Amino acid sequence: MNIKEIIRKKRSGLSLTKEEIEYFAFGAADGSIKDYQLSALLMAICFNGLDSNETLELTDAMARSGDMADLSAVNGITGDKHSTGGVGDKTTLVVAPIVAECGVKIAKMSGRGLGHTGGTVDKLESIPNFRTSFETDEFISIVNKCGICVAGQSGKLCPADKKLYSLRDATETVDNMSLIASSIMSKKLAGGADCIVLDVKCGSGAFMKDVDSATALAEKMVEIGRGAGRKIAALITDMDTPLGKNIGNSLEIVEAVETLKDNGPDDLTEICVLLAAKLLELADKGSFDDCKKLAMSKIKDGSALNKLAEMVALQGGDSEFIRNTSLFPKAHYSFDIKASESGYISHMNAEGIGLAGVSLGAGRQTKEDDIDYSAGIILNKKTGDEIAKGEIIATLYSSDESLFEQAALQFNSSVTVESKKPASKPLLLNIVG
């Protein structure tokens, strides 16, 4: 078998066999296939797609490309949560401690930023000394001690996805439904949790732009999860506007902490409670409604916040940054975006705003780039808000002042102001499973 033949076959729109898919997934994992050939294949997949069978085979091959986590040493039921990626999406940082506090163990592997979206691992690494890389024994011991460990994708679990994920980020080959489904589900299957809740984002800031395609992605992933014997459900949630107000790594940790203090933005709090409740329901902790109340009670009594601080300390991080978020270094420069006319914000293109965050240094332009942890955006106004000419819509933050011009252009072209107040939209758009 040879990779050029596989690329040519996919470029011509033909289906790949199980053996061909295994060949390139294992070749991605062990480095025997060159990055430029994998990139060409990913582009051919984006143009010509993968059918259902190819998607299942790719998920399975990527899951088997490294170790499969054995969580049998974890005491109790295990849960996992995964988002398909959005802008300002810091839900894991809120949901994981709530669920752990309710007795469901979270042994979780998270990703880095991808395209215009942020990643939990990058966010957590803005906490000094925070570690995301563990040998299995230490990972399990942290889960058993405090109920959560959020690790990065180690070289050992799903190495094929690790390689393809970073190439997709750098080659604009992210937003293909089969690649997203197989990337997420290979990690979830290799990650080994009993119960999985998926947050499938939908709208301008998501890879899936409309409810039908988000639902189709959710159904594909739920089918893969059930086929592997997991308890799994997906919530389709709105990502037409950024979630919460803070975008950028340390800025998002600050907002997650505020949410755990019951002081967060309403949209973020609502989505976190829904996701936590769904995972608790899958873990047989009660009905969805009872689990919503249970989840909220862990915010109100401060126990979920304590749980996050405990996890940060056990993962080597300085938990004082959770107790006192003013310790996070501030960006050297800031730049206010002001409204050029009065009216209502009728739309915020979340992808454009995410890209403005990436241009400020909060994400990577190439896979080797370093992140500026203090860079990002704080929104002062969101979709539906009234705004007067000259009022601040958002403040941009960066350690490099020269980046503001491009980011401000990108931000401004993503915001629409109209004279009429737009109709409000629900946050939860559908549930699959």
- Closer CB to ligand URA, 207 or 335, in the complex: 207
Residue 302: left (phi > 0), alpha (psi -120 to 50), or beta?
left
Which listed residue (58, 74, 93, 114) binds ligand URA by CB under 6 A?
Answer: 114
Structure tokens at 316: 């080597």
Which listed residue (27, 66, 85, 244) binds ligand URA by CB under 6 A?
Answer: 85
Question: Does residue 183 touch ligand URA according to CB under 6 A?
Answer: yes
CA distance 85 to 3: 30
By CB under 6 A, how many residues form the interface with ligand URA? 8
Number of other residues whose CB lies within 10 A of the CB of residue 146: 23
Q: Which of 332, 344, 352 is nearest to 408 (CA)?
A: 352
- Closer CB to ligand URA, 170 or 313, in the complex: 170
- Closer CB to ligand URA, 188 or 307, in the complex: 188
Which listed residue (46, 140, 180, 339) binds ligand URA by CB under 6 A?
Answer: 180
Question: Does residue 59 touch ligand URA according to CB under 6 A?
Answer: no
Cα 391 to the center of its chain, rounded Å: 31
CA distance 90 to 227: 29
Q: Using CB under 6 A, which of the segments 139-147, 177-185, 238-246, 311-319 binds ligand URA?
A: 177-185
Q: Residues 90, 105, 168, 201: which is the catalytic one?
A: 168
Q: Using CB under 6 A, which of the segments 58-66, 89-97, 179-187, 223-231 binds ligand URA?
A: 179-187
Question: CA 325, 331, 334, 337 torsion: positive or negative?
Answer: negative
Question: Does residue 84 touch ligand URA according to CB under 6 A?
Answer: yes
In the complex, minimum distance from the CB of residue 27 to ligand URA, in angstroms, rounded to a whole number: 19
**Catalytic residue at 301?**
no
The β-bridge relationship of strands 428-432 and 231-238 is antiparallel
- Closer CB to ligand URA, 176 or 306, in the complex: 176
In the complex, minimum distance from the CB of residue 45 to ligand URA, in angstroms, rounded to a whole number: 12
Q: Using CB under 6 A, which of the segments 91-99, 176-184, 238-246, 334-342 binds ligand URA?
A: 176-184
In the complex, minimum distance from the CB of residue 179 to ligand URA, in angstroms, rounded to a whole number: 6
Q: Residues 64, 187, 230, 298: which is the catalytic one?
A: 187
Coil, strand or helix at 212: helix
CA distance 137 to 146: 14
Q: Which of 244, 243, 248, 247 is nearest to 126 (CA)?
A: 248
- Yes or no: say if 25 and 1 are a contact pair by the CB < 8 Å rule: no
Question: Does residue 241 touch ligand URA according to CB under 6 A?
Answer: no
Residue with CB nearest ligand URA?
Answer: 183
Question: Does residue 111 touch ligand URA according to CB under 6 A?
Answer: yes
Structure tokens at 66: 């490294």
**Catalytic residue at 82?**
yes
Determine whether 4 is exposed, middle or buried from the number of CB atoms within 10 Å of its CB (0-12, 13-18, 19+): exposed
**Catalytic residue at 32?**
no
Q: Using CB under 6 A, which of the segments 45-53, 144-152, 175-183, 406-414 binds ligand URA?
A: 175-183
- Closer CB to ligand URA, 59 or 374, in the complex: 59
User: What is the tally of helices (H) and strands (E) in the chain?
Assistant: 17, 13
Determine whether 395 is exposed, middle or buried from the number of CB atoms within 10 Å of its CB (0-12, 13-18, 19+): middle
- Closer CB to ligand URA, 83 or 374, in the complex: 83
- Yes or no: say if 334 and 380 are a contact pair by the CB < 8 Å rule: no
Question: CA 289, 291, 296, 301 torsion: positive or negative?
Answer: positive
Question: Does residue 184 touch ligand URA according to CB under 6 A?
Answer: yes
**Catalytic residue at 323?**
no
- Yes or no: say if 361 and 355 are a contact pair by the CB < 8 Å rule: no
**Catalytic residue at 161?**
yes
- Closer CB to ligand URA, 279 or 299, in the complex: 279
Q: Which residues are catalytic?
A: 82, 161, 168, 183, 187
List contacts with ligand URA (CB under 6 A): 84-85, 111, 114, 179-180, 183-184
